[in-house]
Structure 1
């Protein structure tokens, strides 16, 4: 696993443990809701992760983008599909999304290199 992917995953896991260890009911409920939102339903898990990625890119949240890129990779999204997702995000979000697309493309390359 590349350093870029490993560092993100390690930090995310570490800080999630810290936050959840504080036993805050609202945070636990919010995170549970987030988990359940992406479960298989009328929309496939793949579709939901792609939607989450577009929303994250438009909102310009690099951590969220990395998370959804990882999930999309786990779910078998292809590079061709990924670049269509990037295109949708850039059309919806405008040119301000371009720097996030660059970082997303870099992270995607790291994910596929680790297959």
Structure 2
């Protein structure tokens, strides 16, 4: 993880005297360096298709590039991989994670489940 700063502007204009201005703020954001994303598939054919596709996170212009290796494992083995997962479930640790634009902006509630050490430093230190 790396903490980066960015300047953000409010959407709304405010009037200050005879001028209209947009207020600015400084936002500190944790950025993942060299993230690993593990995807689980029920069918081997779907996993094969995923090994040649990339993911583009357009808002930040980030790319996640594919890895051709496929690891076959049980659900229990997958659940033991170091990392974190957003679980869409309501419990005492849940919070509002967004709105579902496909279901009349219905609230999406979930919590983060952390397993092991989700921040792998070994890969970053070798570069």
Shared fold (TM-score, shorter chain, > 0.5): no
- The structure carrying a bigger helix percent of its residues is 1
TM range (shorter): under 0.3
Q: TM-score, normalised by structure 2?
A: 0.24
Q: TM-score, normalised by structure 1?
A: 0.26
Larger radius of gyration: 2
- The structure carrying a bigger strand percent of its residues is 2
Higher relative contact order (CA 8 A, sep 6+): 1
